[in-house]
Amino acid sequence: MFGKIKNIFLPSMVFFIYAFLYLPILIMAIFSFNKASIGFKWIGFTTEWYQKLFYSDEIWYVFKNSLIVALSAVFLSVTIGVALVWGLYRKNTKLLSLFYSNIMIPEIVSSVSLLSLFILFSIPLGLNALVIGHTLLGLGFVIPILNVRFQELNYNLIEASLDLGANIWTTFFKVVLPFLVPAIVSASLLVFIVSLDDFLIAFFCSDSTSQTLSLYIYSTIRAGVSPLVNALSTLMLVGSSVLVLLFIYISLKFIPENND
């Protein structure tokens, strides 16, 4: 009797959990093709809202801001992360554990802390503040990924390179960096996704001239959900999903390799 209940109850629970998670996303995507300009009454199929997205100067402006912040955060977080991991290799690696807490601290706490820091040092809010905030956020993802990959590197390869006459920079660019490339690409994709979708840091650290996609969606839905917002959210979801799948593929295919 218990076995029959378990066989029915557990699959049902899994089904309802997945439905609760993904049904709203599916509804959003469907109603992005709705002819109705407001509300959730289906009156017909149209691609008008997607066309308006591509011809909207406002959308392109906030997309450009998001792209600038995301790409800058990727470059800075990966560069700083590689420098820290390489600089602390076989030294005081405990310092790297400080960046792991970045993932555990609630983002609302990090956002308010960054805002307080910017106010304390009179740093103006805007794109520069967003880049700083997203770079710090990205380091919490970059350093763990790079550090795990770096620990797989056979130190004998570095010693052999130095013994054969290569200096430390040649060793880094010829031995270490090629080994880290899969982890760098994987970490870059993850930071780009996180930065592009981030709302809290953007909300606290931006000004009126540095609106991002997440802030634009937030400000728009305050007046009511429209198919235009549904279309923009659907495109962001598709783009993020592609990048996530690429991140998983690179992680599974390259990161576990050991070149010992």
| pLDDT-above-70 percentage for the chain | 90
Residue 13 in domain: no
pLDDT of residue 164: 81
Residue 41 in domain: no
**Residue pointed to by tokens 């029915």:** 8
The pLDDT tens digits of the residues spanning 82-122 come to: 998 888 876 666 677 777 777 778 888 888 988 898 888 88
pLDDT band at 39 (very low <50, low <70, confident <90, very high): low
Tell me, rounded to whole angstroms, the distance of Cα 91 from its chain centroid: 29
pLDDT of residue 260: 42
pLDDT band at 255 (very low <50, low <70, confident <90, very high): low
**Whole-prediction pTM value?**
0.81
Give the residue numbers spanning the domain of 59. Answer: 50-253
Number of domains in the chain: 1
Residue type, 189: L
Dihedral pair phi/psi, residue 45, rounded to 5°: -90, 140
Residue 114 in domain: yes
Give alpha helix (H) positions in 32-99.
48-54, 57-87
Residue 84 in domain: yes
Residue 35 in domain: no
Residue 44 in domain: no
Residue 127 in domain: yes
Above 50 in pLDDT, residue 259? no
Residue 17 in domain: no
pLDDT band at 51 (very low <50, low <70, confident <90, very high): confident
Contact 75, 140 (CB under 8 A): no
The arithmetic mean of pLDDT across residues 68-95, rounded, is 85
Residue type, 14: V
Among 218, 213, 211, which residue's Cα sits nearest to residue 236? 213
CATH of the domain at 75: 1.10.3720.10
Above 90 in pLDDT, residue 76? yes
Above 70 in pLDDT, residue 11? yes
pLDDT of residue 68: 93
Among 234, 138, 236, which residue's Cα sits nearest to residue 191? 138
Tell me, rounded to whole angstroms, the distance of Cα 147 from its chain centroid: 18
- Here the tokens at position 149 are 């990959």
The pLDDT tens digits of the residues spanning 217-227 come to: 888 777 666 77
